[in-house]
Every structure is written in structure tokens, then in C-alpha cells.
Amino acid sequence: MVLSLALAGPSWAVSQSARPLPLSADAVLLLDAQGKVLFSKNAAEDHAPASLVKLMTLYLACEAIESDRAQWDEPVLISTRAAQTPRYRMGLRAGDTPPLRTLLEGVAIASANDAATAVAEHLAGSEEAFVAQMNAKGAALGLSSTHFANAHGLPDPSGRSTAEDLAKLTIRLLNDYPSARPLLGGSTFVYRGRVYGRNISLLHDPWSVQALKTGFTRAAGYNLAVATWRSGERFVLIVLGAQTRSASYRDARTVLSFGFQEAGLQVPPEPPQRRIQPPRRAAERRSRALAPHARPAASRPAAARSL
């Protein structure tokens, strides 16, 4: 079943769901497989997209690969400008030549801003030229309320979008280029011997999520784009402006549960609450107090910080 792209019809004009849901986010939109609006909250409201702009970066990259203007494994020379793009980053260094595939994994999984800049420069010669292509493609896809200011989503007052437009973009990306799905559904990738990963509850809970992109800036709040396939039904969900990352995931579960119920599907049970363990140092102090002559266990080296 293919997600319909006819989003400008009457169903798209639904502005609010008849059933209010307790949500943290400023704007939310849930579509079913036919493009019908199942839930909407401020879906046409102007919003900072943050790293959800990387969906368009991925779209243009997949388009270039599909048209043989680029190859998955071709080397990409990293410029000084790309290497110095602010956080979050995957630690690219000027002069590195990682394959394009690894950079796209960095964009999709680690939301790496340096990787997005490197992809833009590689495909268009400069980030400015790539941004012009992003806006031209946005116009061609009918993203009438969207303007891209850069390839990564770092704060820029001219970078704006809506839940409506980002849902359209998500649908087109997954329909036009299925190769984007494993990128957006991935949890880990390796670069220079280091494993980069993301531990996102929605990718592990029984929600059948196969594509997910996060975004955050202080101006935007916590944004989320999700595509899920369940019992032959497909849904696309956009969450914009949640107050915390965990709140964006809670909002997603709440709205997906509503959508599953509307479609007559079984709603997954809530994941079990994790038992909170006492801090390691406190536990070690109690252990030493009970056995003052025991030798304390050696501390483990700190794990590498994930992006």
C-alpha cells in the first residue's frame, strides 16, 4: 500500500481533531495511508523545523544517487567549513574522505550537522547552492509554507515550515526513495572505528516504527517525524515543539494509539516502567560502609558520548 500524495483535498483541510488529546507539543499531525488526517493540532502553524530539514537533504541525496549523479560509496572530501559546522557532529576532519553512504547515515541517525554540510557541498559545490536546490524542490513538492535556510537545521530565522509540509516531505521521501527508509530506521553506524548510535524508545517499543527523524533547537523545541507500518496500515506523524525529548515520544505514542484505534487496529501495550537503580557512587558508599576493609571496585572508563 502506498501513501497517497493527494494532501490538498478536503481531508487536509481538517484543522483540529474532534477528540482532544493531552499533548506537550505545539503542533501535531497524523495521516493514514490515504493521506487522511486522523489527528491535527495547529498543523498549518509556522514553526522552526530544526533538524527535520535534513529530510530534504536526504531527499536530494537519494535523488542524486537514483539518477546516477552520485554513488553510495563514492568518497566525499571534507572541507574546513564542513568540519567546523557546530554541534551535533560526527567529528569529521578537514581532508577526510568518508563514503557518501556513511555521511547519509550520519545525517539520518546521528543528525550530524557536519555531515549535512559535507553532503550539501559535495552534491552542489557549496551549501548555498544546495539550499537553493532544497527550496526549488520544496516548491516542486508543494511545500508552500516552507523555506530552507541551510542543510542541517541550525537556528536561522528564515528557516520555517509547518507540520503539514513536513508530513508531505516525509511521505514523498519514503515513497519516492525507499532507500531512505533503512537510513531513517537505523540505530547505529560506524565511522573511523567508532560506533555512533541512538537509543530511541519508539524504535524499540512495539509501534512498528520503520522511519524516524528527530530535531531540536531552543527556538524549535523538540521535533519528531515518524512513519509506522502496522497490520498493513501506514501512518505518518509529525510532532513539533514538544517541551522535552521524552515528551515528544510520549506525544507520539499518544497520537499513534489514537490513530490505531481510529483504524480499528490493536494498540500496543505501554512499555514496562524501568526500575530506577541507585546512583553507582551511592551504592559504592553503602558497600564500603558495610565492608570497610573491602577493596573498592575499579571504576569503568566513561563511554563515548553519543550524538
Distance between CA 25 and CA 78 in Å, rounded?
36
Could you tell me if residue 272 is inside a domain? no
Over 80: is that where the pLDDT of 101 sits? yes
Q: Cell for 180?
A: 531512505
Q: Is residue 70 part of a domain?
A: yes
Cis link prior to 88 (omega < 30° from 0)? yes
User: Could you tell me the pTM of the whole model?
Assistant: 0.83
Q: Are 116 and 151 in contact (CB under 8 A)?
A: yes
If one compares 160 and 294, the residue with the highest pLDDT of the two is: 160
> What is the band of 220 on the pLDDT scale with cuts at 50, 70, 90?
very high
Range of the domain at 231: 10-262
In sequence order, which residues have a C-beta less than 8 Å from that of residue 248 and are 6 or more positions away?
A: 24, 25, 214, 222, 223, 224, 239, 242
In a domain, 283, yes or no: no
8 Å CB contact between 141 and 168 = yes
* Predicted confidence (pLDDT) per residue in 42-84, tens digit: 999 999 999 999 999 999 999 999 999 999 999 999 999 999 9
Q: Count the Cβ atoms, other than its own, within 10 Å of residue 17.
A: 18
Burial class (CB in 10 A: 0-12, 13-18, 19+), 40: buried
Residue 219 lies in a domain: yes
CATH number at residue 162: 3.40.710.10
Lowest mean pLDDT among 41-55, 118-132, 281-295: 281-295
In a domain, 156, yes or no: yes
Cell 494498540, residue located: 267
- Residue 275 covered by a domain: no
pLDDT value of residue 206: 82
Share of the chain above pLDDT 90, in %: 73
> Quick one: pLDDT band at residue 215, thresholds 50, 70, 90?
very high
pLDDT at 33 over 60: yes
Nearest Cα to Cα of residue 110 among 54, 170, 181: 54
Residue at 277 is within a domain? no
CA-closest candidate to residue 219, choices 280, 166, 153: 153
pLDDT of the residue at 4: 44
* pLDDT at position 19: 64
3-state SS string for the chain? CCCCCCCCCHHHHCCECCCCCCCCCCEEEEECCCCCEEEEECCCCCECCHHHHHHHHHHHHHHHHHCCCCCCCCECCCCHHHHCCCCCCCCCCCCCCCEHHHHHHHHHCCCCHHHHHHHHHHHHCCHHHHHHHHHHHHHHCCCCCCECCCCCCCCCCCCEECHHHHHHHHHHHHHHCCCHHHHHHCCEEEECCEEEECCCHHHHCCCCEEEEEEEEECCCEEEEEEEEEECCEEEEEEEEEECCHHHHHHHHHHHHHHHHHHCCCCCCCCCCCCCCCCCHHHHHHHHHHHCCCCCCCCCCCCCCCCC
- With respect to residue 250, please indicate whether it lies within any of the assigned structural domains: yes
State how many domains the chain has: 1
The yes-or-no verdict on residue 297 having pLDDT over 60 is no
Q: Is 278 or 297 the better-scoring residue by pLDDT?
A: 278
In b/e form, how buried is each residue of 98-131, taking b as 16+ CB within 10 angstroms?
bebbbbbbbbbbbbbbbbbbbbbbbbbeebeebb
Average pLDDT value for residue range 285-307: 37
